Structure 1
Amino acid sequence: MVQFDSTPALIVVDMQNGFCHKDGSFARLGIQTDPTTIVARINELISEFRATGFPIYFLKTGYQADYSDRRGRDRHDRLEQLQGLLRGSWDAEILDELTLEPDDIVINKTRNSGFFRTSLENTLRERGVDHLILTGVGTDVCVETTARDAYQLNFAVTTISDATGTCNESDHLAALHALRNFGGTASTSEVIEVLEKLRNSKNM
């Protein structure tokens, strides 16, 4: 059962055109995910987090124009040839279906983990966040890596099983199985139920 001891934050990982849009760089590379279902569930969580006043963080992968900040870069790499995920480009932007508001925090990253050489940990600590609710893509790559790092940094972690996704179901399920040892998983409806109870208790 999901429990929030104090302040949770919603973390939306890499829901970008490059990874998720049918015209994005990953689709052009033949790596396609269908984000339709998880977008709807992430939006449900975003609405509930906003209603309860808890913070929302969007993580974005984006590289410099020369890709000098990309791990293991290779000028013959297809992503670089396609000019994919360049910082400031359409490819690197968050999907239009996920609307950001001024209070939402966007963290740029260049590695799988949202914590690697970013301001994420510091800004979470500053806001008193101690429980991360993870959504986004890919379950087996950036979501799982971020969850593992968060767990090692002593955050409570819950990965949302039906608001995360990757290129195929077997890899998605394998990642969720592994994450049972790094905070565990829950469904969108389970998290929303807890948030609604918190909101109702505040209004009493």
Structure 2
Amino acid sequence: MKQALLIIDVQNGMFNVGNEVYKSVSLLENLERLINQARLAEASIFYIQHNGPVGHPLEYGTKGGEIHPNISPRNQDVIIQKTTPDAFFKTALENEMKTRGIEHLIITGIQTEACVDTTCRRAFSAGFQVTLASDAHSTWNSGEITAQQIINHHNSVLRWFATVIPSTEIIFNT
């Protein structure tokens, strides 16, 4: 079964000093390891890049909107631009997956309760096998609960739509 790694919204604006995404260092380390594994297995890698409006931390065409340099895409990687939490909505993502014969998506990225959650559910509904890397997505504390509680909750709830396992347990087909 052909696999693809999806990296959602891991952009500079999510790592602003003093307001970095939760566990930013380990998030980037886990993503780097998954990217290296995917490259070795010659799996497709898709970078999902959110285009925020003027003044947004992920404003299109700004430094904040660029993909984080620790996980920079290569020429063979695909970058999909989006403007909503759903990486499939009004984008070429599903068509790109079908063109490449991809049936299994490994989902990572930011923000757990928004773009990661929505894309997991949508991928499942579109008929893809979905794996969520439980330690390769992140968010921020909310007014009510901590980032870790949000991540734990979504790792539990998203089991209805995905196999949820740590990044160290993910194996790419060769």
Tell me whether the two structures share a fold, i.e. TM-score over 0.5: yes
* SS in structure 2 at match of 1:114: coil
AA of the residue aligned to 1:45: L
Aligned with residue 42 of structure 2, among 36, 45, 53: 53
Q: Distance in 2 between matches of 1:178 and 1:52?
A: 29
Contact 1:22/1:32, CA 8 A, preserved across alignment: no
**Identity rate of aligned residues, in percent?**
29
Counterpart of 1:112?
85
Aligned with residue 12 of structure 2, among 17, 25, 33: 17
Q: Please provide the CA RMSD for this pair.
A: 1.5
Q: Which runs of 5+ in 2 are unaligned?
A: 141-146
Q: Distance in 1 between matches of 2:73 and 2:150?
A: 29
AA of the residue aligned to 2:161: F
Q: Distance in 2 between matches of 1:176 and 1:120?
A: 23
Task: Tell me the CA shift for residue 32 of structure 1.
Answer: 4.5
Task: Tell me the CA shift for residue 129 of structure 1.
Answer: 0.4
Q: Distance in 2 between matches of 1:171 and 1:46?
A: 25
Aligned with residue 158 of structure 1, among 131, 146, 169: 131
When normalised by structure 2's length, the TM-score is: 0.91
Corresponding position: 1:185 with 2:164? yes
Counterpart of 1:44?
33
Counterpart of 1:172?
151
Q: Distance in 1 between matches of 2:56 and 2:123?
A: 31
Given the superposition, is the C-alpha separation of residues 32 and 51 from structure 1 closer, same or farther in structure 2, using an over 3 Å criterion? closer
Q: Distance in 1 between matches of 2:138 and 2:88?
A: 20
Q: Distance in 2 between matches of 1:161 and 1:83?
A: 27
Contact 2:14/2:57, CA 8 A, preserved across alignment: no
When normalised by structure 1's length, the TM-score is: 0.78
Given the superposition, is the C-alpha separation of residues 83 and 113 from structure 1 closer, same or farther in structure 2, using an over 3 Å criterion? closer
Q: Which runs of 5+ in 1 are unaligned?
A: 1-5, 68-79, 200-204
Task: Tell me the CA shift for residue 21 of structure 1.
Answer: 3.3
Corresponding position: 1:142 with 2:111? no
AA of the residue aligned to 1:49: A
Q: Distance in 2 between matches of 1:84 and 1:136?
A: 16
Task: Tell me the CA shift for residue 83 of structure 1.
Answer: 4.8
Task: Tell me the CA shift for residue 144 of structure 1.
Answer: 0.7
Aligned with residue 102 of structure 2, among 129, 150, 157: 129
Q: Distance in 2 between matches of 1:155 and 1:169?
A: 27
Q: Distance in 2 between matches of 1:21 and 1:156?
A: 33
Larger strand share, 1 or 2: 2
What are the Cα deviations for residues 157-176 of structure 1, in whole angstroms up to 9, with x where unaligned? 01000111111101111111
Task: Tell me the CA shift for residue 102 of structure 1.
Answer: 0.2
Counterpart of 2:143?
none
